[in-house]
Each structure stands twice: as structure tokens, then as C-alpha cells.
Amino acid sequence: MSDTVLLAHGSGGIKTQQLIQDYFFKLFDNPILNEATDSAVLDRPKGKICLTTDNFVVQPQDFPGGDIGKLAVCGTINDLAVSGAKPQYLSVGFILEEGLLLSDLMRYVKSMANTAKSAGVRIVTGDTKVVQRNNCDHLYINTTGIGTIQSEQEHISSGRKIKSGDAILINGYIGDHGMAIFSTRFPKQVSTKLLSDCNCLNELIGDLLAKKCKINFMRDPTRGGVAGVLNELSTQLNLGINILEDQLPVRPEVSGLCEILGFDPLYLANEGKVLLICPKEESEKILNIWRKHPLGKNARQIGHISNEHKGLVVMQTCYGGKRLIDPMISDPLPRIC
């Protein structure tokens, strides 16, 4: 029988120590973590810091293009990166279900370690709890991230510098993650080779910051999709937002499946996309920089900020008609016919 997580792994005793040594220390390996202190002791950075936290409960834990481990690292790194910060450190909290295969845990931990390493971010502290069987779905992961931010980027997450005429850009195809996850839940009904776009965006965004691009706003359109972010923004700042239907980058597989299932790609989750708003004259520079990066090859402008219809997101259809893009109620449901 395969080795599994036992309640003893969370008891604080020898099994806990073994788990920490053989899995976390071994794979997350770095001098700060290896001190094995209750708190990670970090150098004080120049300027201000950004702090963010996120919980990861994705089901299934393995999906085409990634797994819960990769997602837990990318998700928090991206929240820092889109705020204009340089991600530096992560903490990780695991809630493990009794009976989880240790081989599965090893795979997720390896995936976290590899993702963090390639993003240049260190996992410096953590915690593990084990709950009884059926009290959680295999495992849940929390990651908290610290990044450093320069004063000239502080406005990016609020969007307070956005003005009429600004361009709205995205770094590639939308809806891949949402549709990839959906296809794994209905494997016999939905057959696709789509991969989740799950990726760390700090390098792609770092390139822009290094080249002093003027950015007025960034956010990653995860749950709720592009429509969700744009609606939040238009409501919070009372902005009119115009989207051009014929400019939206959607893969044929995603739009085809959306047609069949009754979904709209604008509402599907992404895990490797950033929506960026910048002055109109800055857009070409940004798109040119992005298109040289593998995660920005299909970057393009999808709309602009308008003086009209304040507080609403409106799409101009390919035929010149207009329609409202309203906020999503909850997860999209496949329709009857």
C-alpha cells in the first residue's frame, strides 16, 4: 500500500519533523528557511513593501498545464507583480487531508519549488496541518508573498491615474485556464488539448518596469475573468470602459467550447494574464516589449477608457452594435441547449 499522510504528520512529533525535513527543507532549500526558526528573518528592503495572501483549493489538483502547487506560487507572485512590486519571499501554509498520497504531496511540493526557483522567489517559512479524512479535499495551500515596490509604481494597483483615452492591453489569449479546468471535470464530454495558462508574470512585468514604461493600472483577471476586473474597475472609479469584440484574443478551441457550453470567454478564469491600462501613446512601446517575451507573444490592445457611459463596461461588437458586459453572478453554468 502506498504511503499516505497520517494525522501524526501534523502532530508536531517525529513524523512532522520528517515531513518538514524530507519534503519542505529539501526542496524549498534556501539559507533563510534552513535556519529553521519560528519566523523567517529578512533583510529590510529599500522603499516600501507589498504584502498579499491567497488560498488555493483548486479541484482537480492536477490539471492540464499545471497543478495546485504551481498555481499556489504563481497566484501570489502574480498578485504582487501586477501591483508593480518585485516579488521576493513567500510563506506557505498546507492543510493536508489524512490519506493524501505522499507521492502526490511530493509532486506538488516539487512543483512549488521549481516554480518559485524559476521566478527568483524564495519560500522562507511555512506551516502544515493535517485534518481528518473527508475534512478537506486532498490539500489546500495558502501562500503569502512579500515584494518590494518603488514609489513611482505605488498608484498601479488602485488605478487612480487612469484617464479617458487610456489604452487597455492584455498579454495573450483569454479563458484558457477556466476552460482547461472545466474540461477535466467532464473528461468524457469535453475533449480538448487546451492547457491552463498558469504562469508567473513577474518577469514579463519586470521588463516593463525596467524600461520605465508608464503604467496606470494592472490586475490579473483570475476568477471572474476579464469581465470581472473591468467591471470592478468601472464601478470603483466610475470609468466608462470600451472593449472591441474583434480585438479579443480567444483561441478557436476556447471559443468553440464556449459556443457549445454556453460560456463567454470574458468570464473565464486566467492564471497567466495581466490586464494593463496605460496612456495611449505608451501602448506600442509596451506591446513591443511584451511580444518579445514568451508570455506576451499574443499581446494586444483590446479597448480603451471612454468619456461616455461612466460606470459601465460596453463592448462594441464586430458589426458596430453595442452590448453591455455586466459583472458575473457566480461561476458560469453549462446550459441546457
Partner 1 sequence: MSFFNTYRNPALVKDCLDVIRTEAKKPIKLMEVCGGHTHAIQRYGLPSLLPSNIELLSGPGCPVCVTNRSYIDQAIHLASDTQNIICTYGDLLRVPGSISSLEKVKALGHSVEIVLSPLQCLEMAKQNPDKHIVFLGIGFETTAPATAATILEAEKKKIKNFSVFSAHKTMPAAMKALAGEQPLLNGYICPGHVSSITGARMYSFLPEKHGIACVIAGFEPLDLLECILMLIRQVNSNHPKVQIQYKRAVTINGNKKAQQILEKVFKPVNDYWRGLGRINGSGLAIENRYEEFDTNSRLYLPPYEISEPAGCICGDILKGIQKPNECGLFRSACTPANPIGACMVSNEGACNAYYSYKP
Say which residues have a Cβ less than 8 Å from residue 132's Cβ, sequence separation at least 6.
7, 97, 98
Using CB under 8 A as the binding rule, whether residue 324 contacts partner 1 is answered as: yes
Q: Output phi, psi for 167, to 5 deg.
A: -90, 145
Closer by beta carbon to partner 1, 24 or else 263 = 263
8 contributes a contact to partner 1 by CB under 8 A: no
8-state DSSP, 327: P
Binding span for partner 1 by CB under 8 A among 75-83, 89-97, 170-178, 256-264? 256-264
Minimum separation from the CB atom of position 188 to partner 1 (A): 8
From residue 233 to residue 252, the character string flagging contacts with partner 1 as x (rule: CB under 8 A) and all else as - is: -------------x-----x
1 binds partner 1 (CB under 8 A): no
> Binder to partner 1 among 256, 281, 292, 297 (CB under 8 A)?
256
d(Cα 32, Cα 88) in Å, to the nearest integer?
12
Angle at 51 between CA 48 and CA 52, to 5 degrees: 150
Give the C-alpha distances (Å, rounded to integers) separating 175 from 185, 255, 299: 16, 9, 14
CB-count exposure of residue 161 (10 Å: 0-12, 13-18, 19+): middle
Residues touching partner 1: how many (CB under 8 A)? Answer: 29
DSSP element (H, E) containing 80: helix 68-81
Q: Is residue 298 a contact point for partner 1 (CB under 8 A)?
A: no
Touching partner 1, residues 189-208 (CB under 8 A): 189-190
Q: Which of 105, 133, 97, 101 is nearest to 20 (CA)?
A: 105
Q: Does 320 bind partner 1 (CB under 8 A)?
A: yes
Q: How far is the CB of 336 from partner 1 (least distance, A)?
A: 4
Q: Which of residues 34, 55, 118, 186 is near partner 1 by CB under 8 A? A: 186
Contact 183, 64 (CB under 8 A): yes
Q: Which of 12, 13, 262, 311 binds partner 1 (CB under 8 A)?
A: 262
**CA 82 – CA 233 distance, rounded (Å):** 14
Choice from 1, 41, 210, 337 touching partner 1 (CB under 8 A): 337
38-46, 89-97, 145-153, 326-334 -> range binding partner 1 (CB under 8 A): 326-334
Indicate whether 135 belongs to the interface with partner 1 (CB under 8 A): no
314 scored as a contact of partner 1 (CB under 8 A): yes
What is the rounded CA–CA span in Å between residue 271 and residue 130?
28
Interacting residue ranges for partner 1, rule: CB under 8 A: 186, 188-190, 246, 252, 255-256, 261-262, 309, 312, 314, 317-324, 326, 329-330, 333-337
